[in-house]
Structure 1
Amino acid sequence: MSEESYIVNEGKNEIIEVDGVKYQRLAIRTHVITDKDDVCDVIEKYAKPYAKPDDIVFMTEKAVACTQRRAIPMKDIHPRPLAKFLCKFVLKTPYGIGLGIPETMEMALQECGTPRILFAAAVSAVGKLFHKRGWFYKIAGYKARSIDGPCDYTLPPYNHYVVLGPAEPDETAQKMSQRLGGIKVAITDINDLEGQILGISHSSMDRDLLVKILKDNPLGQSLEQTPIGIIRVVK
């Protein structure tokens, strides 16, 4: 792979060691992906020239969701009073808005259903009494956890959008893998605080291991414009 074909984002390491194995993480810059793109075309254009058979190609959930028309302009979201109330109790972090604004909470209510979100909120309130955090998302599920709100550092035009998690992530990863000739593909939701693997193309892939390999978020979450990466074992 030539130096021009990938970058190592500022503040990120190219190599990480997990359980005694070293992995190279290669970030690939793309154009700004929108709903006019087909995700399989994108992965083929940018990853296929460089990926090797034993690699794992990974793509951010946000980029995948944008191709599925799951990025909604803020102006088109009209939060109900319940959303305005519930978002007040969401823990604010420097790593993203999450469900901390009425618009993202409204989309969580629509995506997950009002009863599930209310139950998750009740369980979360009990958890806080015991100084336990994270119970809300365990109940609400990955659809709620994957909702991204606009931040100052978000790549335009998505600094004015709410982006939902990708639809059918495993099936989408399988289609992307087929376009790459069977190379393994993962759809990732990694930020500077935590991570999860939303979709995998092959059932043999270890989601927990992938989270460890990508725990420092090598693709970044700001203006890097690198939504695709390659994981390669260093031999």
Structure 2
Amino acid sequence: MTAQPNEGKPLTRDVDGATYQRIPVRTHVVMSGEDIVEVVTRYAGGLVLPGDIVFVTEKIVAISQGRAFPVDEIEPRRLATFLSKYVTKTSHGIGLGIPETMEMALRECGTPRILLAAAVAAVTKPFGRKGDFYRVAGPRARGIDGPTAHTIPPYNQQVVLIPLDSAGVARQLRQALGGEVEVAIVDVNDFGGNILGSTLTTAGEKALVGILADNPLGQGRESTPIGIVRRAS
């Protein structure tokens, strides 16, 4: 296999004195209801070697679970519209800054938790503290992806929630790939990343975040939601 990096992303990265390949794996556009195990094994199964780490974006896992919702089918309640006005807009993305994504946060996390998060943020933000809303609301709110122009259709017009049982999905994928690789479900973008679930140790997850820190799968329409990490030296 001749590995091809995504545009603007180097194929290798040096971390703690070792060099790692980050091999993007191109797929079709995954749709709701598809079997994520079948998708990953179809595209990555013939490429992996023992000792590799297969990393899968949380977005295609969530999509396969039916956790992507067209914006025009989401009916925000008045509370969602009100709260979304007070979300700070950043270069990281829409977040909960539109009524539709805030509505999904209310559904995912429950109204009491979102109201508590908003109240805490209202108190601490004037003192220069940032991020308290998401710290209180939790990962289900923080992981909501809103519609963005650079995303592959139809997901440029959809709200995608975080996947369910990422650790369990990682274990299923490891078994399906033969058991000699590790698997991680990742949420990585151009601003950072984290591991939602994996078969790695805690130290292994921390190392993987560093290996993927520059987002080798890209942020746009690359169609590479799966990647393989392989130690090169």
Question: Shared topology, TM-score over 0.5?
Answer: yes
Is residue 167 of structure 1 aligned with residue 152 of structure 2?
no
Identity %: 54
Which digits, 9 at most, give the CA deviation of each residue in 1:22-51, with x for residues without a partner? 221111110000114200001101111111
1:206 paired residue number = 204
Q: So what's the TM-score if we normalise by structure 2?
A: 0.94
RMSD, aligned CA: 1.4
Q: Answer yes or no: is 1:158 the counterpart of 2:155.
A: yes
2-side partners of 1:19 and 1:50: how far apart? 26
Q: Residue in 1 aligned with 2:117?
A: 120
Corresponding position of 1:136: 133
- CA offset digits 1:105-154 (Å, max 9, x no partner): 10011001111111112222233222121222222111111111111111
The equivalent residue for 2:52 is 55
Is contact 1:174-1:202 (8 Å) kept?
A: no
1:229 correspondence with 2:227: yes
What secondary structure sits across from 2:167 in the alignment? helix
Of 57, 64, 69, the residue aligned with 2:66 is: 69
Residue 21 to residue 124, structure 1, CA distance change in 2 (3 Å): farther
1:185 is matched with which residue?
183
Say yes or no: does 1:10 pair with 2:10: no
Q: SS where residue 111 of structure 1 aligns?
A: helix
Aligned pair count reads: 232
C-alpha displacement at 1:224, in angstroms? 0.6
The residue aligned with 2:218 is: 220
Q: Which residue of 2 aligns with 1:103?
A: 100
Is contact 2:95-2:145 (8 Å) kept?
yes
Structure 1: 4+ residue segments shifted above 3 A: 202-205
TM value normalised by structure 1: 0.94
Q: Which amino acid aligns with 1:69?
A: G
Please tell me the residue identity of whatever aligns with 1:193.
Answer: F
Distance 1:205 1:72, change over 3 A: farther
Q: Kindly indicate whether residue 29 of structure 2 is the aligned counterpart of residue 32 of structure 1.
A: yes
Shift of 1:204: 5.5
Give the stretch that moved more between structures: 116-125 or 167-176. 116-125
In structure 2, C-alpha distance between the alignment counterparts of 1:36 and 1:48, rounded to whole Å:
20
- Decide which moves more: 175-184 or 91-100: 91-100
Q: Quick one: which of 21, 24, 42 aligns to 1:45?
A: 42
Q: Which runs of 5+ in 2 are unaligned?
A: none
Aligned-partner Cα distance in 1 for 2:58–2:195 = 9
The secondary structure found in structure 1 opposite 2:194 is: strand
**What is the CA–CA distance in structure 2 between the aligned matches of 1:36 and 1:185, rounded to whole Å?**
21
Alpha-carbon shift at residue 7 of structure 1 (Å): 2.5
